Amino acid sequence: MPTTQELIAISPEIILALWALSVMFLDLLIAQSRKSILAYWSLLGLLLAGGAEFSLWGREEILFQGAFVQDNLSLFLDLVLLLATGLSLLMAKGYIKDLEMEHGEYYTLTLFATLGGMLMAGAGDLLIVFLGLEVLSLSLYVLSGFRRTEPMAQEASLKYFLLGAFASGFLLYGIALVFGSTGTTLLGGIAVAITEGGLLGDPLLLLGLGLLGVGLSFKVALVPFHMWTPDVYEGAPTPVAGYMSVVAKAAGFAAALRIFLSAFLQLAGDWTLLLSLLALLTMSGGNIIALAQSNMKRLLAYSSIAHAGYILLGVIALNSWGLSSVLFYLAAYGFMNLGAFAVIVALRDGEREYLALNDYAGLGSRHPLLALSMAIFMLSLAGVPPTAGFLAKFYIFGAAVQAGYGWLAILAVLNSVLAAFYYLRVIVIMYMREPAGQVAKMTHSPALALAIFLAVIGTVQLGLFPAAVVELAQASLFPFLGS
């Protein structure tokens, strides 16, 4: 039986799970014309769960015989996840109504997906990693095909599902082999077994770790496991694409941090080499293909791939600076990327979405505020000071240099220069190019405006006054590195 203390420590997850169920139940009672109540109800749930996270800050709880860990690392990541979910719900409210897919399940699935991500962030056992990943993925498969009569959405959903389930197979087989080598699935237990059993060179363990890595790489879309990303982002509803780009990535990196830090730290020599190769492929591949994109959603998809490569640098660096910069990067990335997606959501005329890059021509004079926000997000994604993206990149590259990966940091900087080209092109098109026909229309909605406003505030705030968040991020890693 769980003790009261355990139940209190895991209360954010419990609140979110109950809230998701309550949304499903309320959906039955609310008339179709008033479904947007559910959006506010879900946001309330997110706020409550976030409040519970705050009240738990500073505690380090190991729950259920080590299966779940509620420490600052999981709380920080949970807060990023909850914030991203909140922003995406604000974006989705009007969007799903206009596109005639306003069903209560949208909110239920979003909340469950976030719950899955939170489980991954606090996992102390490979079983919990697997279950969290599946809760997250299964919800996302459905969400990406939420416009179920739209052929593009169906295709996105099918591709995501088949490749996601394929990746889960690899992950699971990897877990089985790791279990076979160490005799446990507890992350802490694995580390102990590696030390005590002298398993450093055990082929079963290394193969298992490799397969685990492949499975996780699929989920966070590292090159060469990224093929699904642009297709799924393009076909999925825009708020879902934005949600996926942040939440699935943050959750995947959370699980990777947990697994690599708690269980396989002794094998660091083996996996850092492999990951640095993956990081190089991911940044370069993502950025080079992004140069050729003419669709905004595909552009952001490739840009999100490239960003995963930058984040990987912090994991490879494996010092306290690098790991806290991973957390900072995820927070900054959450604001700027969701903000960019929110602008795409805003640029819409009822059902018609303006997704081509050329549709953005003339935006600067026609919708100055929207264009300004987009410009801020693009500058931040490109890493121009004084935005959050600049500091995030600065910290992460600095950590890589400090850890002796100077060559990788130089290549990453060159990559950012390359990336600046396509981000700045969006700004150039918005401000300097005359529209060919009509200027894209904009949908006015208070919730959407709030989402963009919050994202702008977050992006600028983290760029100008990062100290508070950096301190939180560093406090999150205290138990692991103790510096």
In terms of CB distance, is 12 or 235 closer to another protein?
A: 235
Q: In whole angstroms, how close is the CB of 481 to another protein at the nearest point?
A: 28
Residue 172 in the binding site for another protein (CB under 8 A): yes
Residue 112 in the binding site for another protein (CB under 8 A): no
* Distinct helix (H) and strand (E) counts, the chain: 21, 4
84's CB contacts (< 8 A; 6+ apart) are 243, 246, 247, 250, 334, 338
In terms of CB distance, is 221 or 378 closer to another protein?
A: 221
Which phi-psi region, left, alpha or beta, contains residue 68 (left: φ > 0; alpha: ψ -120 to 50)?
A: beta
Residue 353 in the binding site for another protein (CB under 8 A): no
Count of residues interacting with another protein (CB under 8 A): 40
Q: Which residues partner with 15 through β-bridges?
A: none
Which tokens sit at 14?
């419990």
Residue 231 in the binding site for another protein (CB under 8 A): yes
Cα-flanking dihedrals φ and ψ of residue 429, to 5°? -65, -40
Rule CB under 8 A: which of 309-328 touch another protein? none
Rule CB under 8 A: which of 178-197 touch another protein? 179-180, 183-185
Find the helix packing angle between 238-258 and 203-220, rounded to 10°: 160
Show the binding pattern over residues 127-166: x = contacts another protein (CB under 8 A), - = does not.
x--xx--x---x--xx--x--xx-xx-xxxxxx-xx--xx
Cα-flanking dihedrals φ and ψ of residue 225, to 5°? -110, 35
Q: In whole angstroms, how close is the CB of 193 to another protein at the nearest point?
A: 10
How many C-beta atoms lie closer than 10 Å to residue 183's C-beta? 11
DSSP state at residue 439: P
Number of residues that make up the chain: 483
DSSP state at residue 262: I
Residue 214 in the binding site for another protein (CB under 8 A): no
Which tokens sit at 333?
């990335």
In terms of CB distance, is 285 or 339 closer to another protein?
A: 285
Residue 176 in the binding site for another protein (CB under 8 A): yes
247, 239 Cβ separation under 8 angstroms: no
Q: In whole angstroms, how close is the CB of 92 to another protein at the nearest point?
A: 20
In terms of CB distance, is 238 or 476 closer to another protein?
A: 238
In terms of CB distance, is 169 or 406 closer to another protein?
A: 169
Chain positions contacting another protein, by CB under 8 A: 127, 130-131, 134, 138, 141-142, 145, 148-149, 151-152, 154-159, 161-162, 165-166, 168-170, 172-173, 175-177, 179-180, 183-185, 227, 230-231, 234-235
